[in-house]
Structure 1
Amino acid sequence: MKSWPQRIVVLALLGGLVLALLWFQGIIGRHEYVQASIPAGQAVAATTRTQTVQRERITDLRVYPGFVEAVDPATLAARVMGTVVELRAREGDRVAAGEIVATLDDRDARAQLAQARAALDAAGARALQSQLALDRIVALGESDAITAQDLEGAQAARDAGRAQEVAAEQAVAEAETALTWFQLAAPFDGRVLERQAEAGDLALPGRALLTLYRGDRLRLRLAVPEQLVAGLEPGADLHVDFDGLPSRSARLARILPPADAMTGTVIVHLDLEPSGDLRPGAMGRVGLAVGEREALLIPAAAVERIGQVQRVGLVREGRIQSVTVRIGKRIGERVEVLDGLAAGEQVVLP
């Protein structure tokens, strides 16, 4: 049987445990904070400009992404087999029409040209020799010292010499033309879109070495749902937005006939105005009308952005209160309010 001192110690421990639990739960020892009153908003001054939140019917736009691509890019490919000696341009570099941008090893072609020129010199010498022989026979023919058979033979030799000389001239022209195939020139003023080879690579006939494009010949390739294509007409102006670049208008140039059976979309081409800030591959967004809907609209200037938070000054009972709102699409100089305001309320303008 426990003695009284032991019972007192046990009771003290239990009491301490209960008090600790009550303190942790904040039932005892809790400090009561005095709730501070929220200061009232700034009073509306006589010079304060306000605008009423309006509910209007707007065109419902659905945004579709597209990508900039070059119109009729030029692919420079080798016509003969040879080692790439030099490529003088890389992606993004400017090139001028007629500028040599790629060179192949042409030592064999130069040797063939030298052989063709030597053959031409030999053919010319033979043609001259046959002509001189014919002249002598003709001179002797006046004295009846030669026969008709000798004259005909000399004329045939002269004609054969001339034919061989002409053939040699054509062989030289062909060799000179073939030599030009070892240098590739830019067909127009533009930029390098893609570089498909490096120095030392073996170029094969038809293998692309460089792809060029014209900066003033760009378009936006856009996939549009089939049900929206019926409302599009070539020649229509559409608005295109680019990330980090100014928005611009583009003309609907072409609606391609086939539809993608997997996605149910049709490809359309929008011609872009010449601009130095666009490159092939840039993504643009086009809004297409899919109907109408109601929306709350306020001036875009009334919205204050602090980081990711959007706030407006709202007039209530003669005072200005800062309220958080959720903003949707921008429509001209106004923005759509998705949450935080109601029609008929007044917002403060800067």
Structure 2
Amino acid sequence: MTKRHLAALRRFYYINKQSCILIGGVLGAGALWSATALAFSAIDEDQVAETRAFVAAAEVRGDAAAEDSLTGIVQSATPFQAGSVDGGRVVRLLAQIGDRVAAGTPLAVLDGTGAALRVKQAQGELDRAAAIAAERATAAARAAELVPTGTVSEAERSAIEAEARAATGALRAARAGLGLAQDAAGQRIVRAPGSGVVAGRNIEVGGVAAPGQILFVIEGGGGRQILAAVPQKLADRVKPGNRVRYSSETGAGEAEVIGVSPRVEDGGVVPVRLAIRSGQPMPGAIVRLTMTVESSGAGVVRVPATAVQVQRNGSRFVYRIGSEGRIVRVPVTLIALTGSDARVTAALPLGARVVEAGGAFVRHGQRVLIAKPGT
């Protein structure tokens, strides 16, 4: 806007203001605003476009590779798991996380009161079944002796022998039941199924273990792997074969993605497994991962999130700063927000400058000046 136009606008405002006073306020603020708007509309659009505004600028960056830092835990590729079939209350813990144990080493002792009671009940059932089986066998033998005398018929003898056979079957079942109860009682002591380092413990003294619950995880020898939780927004770009750098207190190395879970866990994360290709971190070690993932598609670039403007119809755009500082509106499609960046698809070459701040105060075709930090 030139000085001549500004002076004309001031005179127009002053005349209208005096008119409002002279006619006793008949013209309200709305009328004054309308008149002022008419004065603005009388100014040439090209003249307004030639006015300049200060803006902050940023360069369009590529999205061909993006780094994200994650945290993972080192595990054995084939860990051992120890638990109890029937469960029970833990009365003693004999191993701590980090302990090296051999196969068969006692890890915990569970309360055996319930198991002892079940053994006693099974023994009682066995005794009763044995007594019945003996009684039915004696009756079958006696019936066989009385058939020739006519005291017992063939039909009666067949029925008595069938009862004896059924009693013998019940005796076998009772013996098996006692064996199972005794085995369960023997599992009151939780033992290590293999040699390795205790990497996980899911119970404390006094806690009640559910039947079949895993109480200890033992990391054995062999390969190592890393289990990590990747944010869902990044998971679709993590593919088997991606290489990852990791570091821990015991060293650093490289790992490779070997599995991405299809499910999303609580917190919006996806479990990812990585095989360690170099380095020897200890099982249970916490490692920091630096993951480099490929772009999700062609034409994807990164611009500051503040550069993305939204129109009334919901479409988005950025202002690209062209030659001679003139800005051009470029439509974009927002993919995701990553920190202070916006990942977008747009017809923007790498290195192009866009309006990072001040875009709300300029318009398409206007010339802008790039403000320097601190000014």
Q: What does residue 219 of structure 1 align with?
A: 226
Identify, as 1 or 2, the structure richer in strand.
1
Q: After the TM superposition, which residues 231-242 of structure 1 pair with which residues of structure 2 at under 5 Å, given as runs?
A: 233-238=239-244, 240-242=245-247
Deviation of 1:92 after TM superposition, in Å, equals 0.8
What amino acid is the match of 2:195?
D
Deviations along 1:193-217, one digit per CA (max 9) or x if unpaired, are: 2334333444444666434444633
On the 8 A contact 2:90/2:205 being kept in 1, the answer is yes
On the 8 A contact 2:88/2:111 being kept in 1, the answer is yes
Partner SS for 1:159: helix
Q: After the TM superposition, which residues 84-123 of structure 1 pair with which residues of structure 2 at under 5 Å, given as runs?
A: 84-123=90-129
What amino acid is the match of 1:253?
I
Report the TM-score, using the length of structure 2 for normalisation. Answer: 0.48
On the 8 A contact 2:232/2:264 being kept in 1, the answer is no
On the 8 A contact 1:67/1:280 being kept in 2, the answer is no
Identify, as 1 or 2, the structure richer in helix.
2
What amino acid is the match of 1:278?
M
Deviation of 1:93 after TM superposition, in Å, equals 1.2
Deviations along 1:136-190, one digit per CA (max 9) or x if unpaired, are: 3212322434334542453244234223313322321332243244333334433
What amino acid is the match of 1:248?
G
Percentage identity across aligned positions?
24
What amino acid is the match of 1:134?
A
Deviation of 1:243 after TM superposition, in Å, equals 4.5
What amino acid is the match of 2:287?
M
Report the TM-score, using the length of structure 1 for normalisation. Answer: 0.51
Cα distance in 1 for partners of 2:163, 2:275 equals 66
Q: After the TM superposition, which residues 321-340 of structure 1 pair with which residues of structure 2 at under 5 Å, given as runs?
A: none
What amino acid is the match of 1:67?
G
Question: Which of 248, 268, 282 is matched with 2:286 structurally?
Answer: 282
1:252 has 2:253 as partner = no
Q: After the TM superposition, which residues 26-37 of structure 1 pair with which residues of structure 2 at under 5 Å, given as runs?
A: none
What amino acid is the match of 2:228?
R
Deviation of 1:271 after TM superposition, in Å, equals 1.2
On the 8 A contact 1:226/1:266 being kept in 2, the answer is no
What amino acid is the match of 2:247?
F
> Residue 102 and residue 275 in structure 1: after superposition, are their counterparts in 2 closer, same or farther (change >3 A)?
farther
Deviations along 1:296-337, one digit per CA (max 9) or x if unpaired, are: xxxxxxxxxxxxxxxxxxxxxxxxxxxxxxxxxxxxxxxxxx
What amino acid is the match of 1:107?
T
Partner SS for 2:290: strand
Deviation of 1:89 after TM superposition, in Å, equals 0.7
> Residue 153 and residue 65 in structure 1: after superposition, are their counterparts in 2 closer, same or farther (change >3 A)?
closer
On the 8 A contact 1:137/1:146 being kept in 2, the answer is yes
Deviation of 1:233 after TM superposition, in Å, equals 4.8
On the 8 A contact 2:202/2:214 being kept in 1, the answer is yes
Q: What does residue 210 of structure 1 align with?
A: 216
> Residue 268 and residue 83 in structure 1: after superposition, are their counterparts in 2 closer, same or farther (change >3 A)?
closer
Rg: which structure is higher?
1
On the 8 A contact 2:133/2:168 being kept in 1, the answer is yes
What stretches of structure 2 of length at least 5 have no aligned partner?
A: 1-63, 296-375
Deviation of 1:105 after TM superposition, in Å, equals 1.7
Cα distance in 2 for partners of 1:222, 1:100 equals 33
Partner SS for 2:120: helix
Q: After the TM superposition, which residues 95-174 of structure 1 pair with which residues of structure 2 at under 5 Å, given as runs?
A: 95-148=101-154, 150-174=156-180
What amino acid is the match of 1:163?
G
> Residue 207 and residue 167 in structure 1: after superposition, are their counterparts in 2 closer, same or farther (change >3 A)?
closer
Cα distance in 2 for partners of 1:120, 1:256 equals 50
What amino acid is the match of 1:168?
A
Partner SS for 1:175: helix
Deviation of 1:91 after TM superposition, in Å, equals 0.8
Q: What does residue 340 of structure 1 align with?
A: none
> Residue 142 and residue 251 in structure 1: after superposition, are their counterparts in 2 closer, same or farther (change >3 A)?
same
Q: What does residue 274 of structure 2 align with?
A: 270
On the 8 A contact 2:235/2:270 being kept in 1, the answer is no
Deviations along 1:7-30, one digit per CA (max 9) or x if unpaired, are: xxxxxxxxxxxxxxxxxxxxxxxx
Partner SS for 1:278: coil
> Residue 154 and residue 183 in structure 1: after superposition, are their counterparts in 2 closer, same or farther (change >3 A)?
same
Cα distance in 2 for partners of 1:137, 1:228 equals 78
On the 8 A contact 1:69/1:221 being kept in 2, the answer is no
Partner SS for 2:150: coil
Partner SS for 2:152: coil
On the 8 A contact 1:85/1:103 being kept in 2, the answer is yes
On the 8 A contact 1:228/1:290 being kept in 2, the answer is no
What amino acid is the match of 2:276?
L
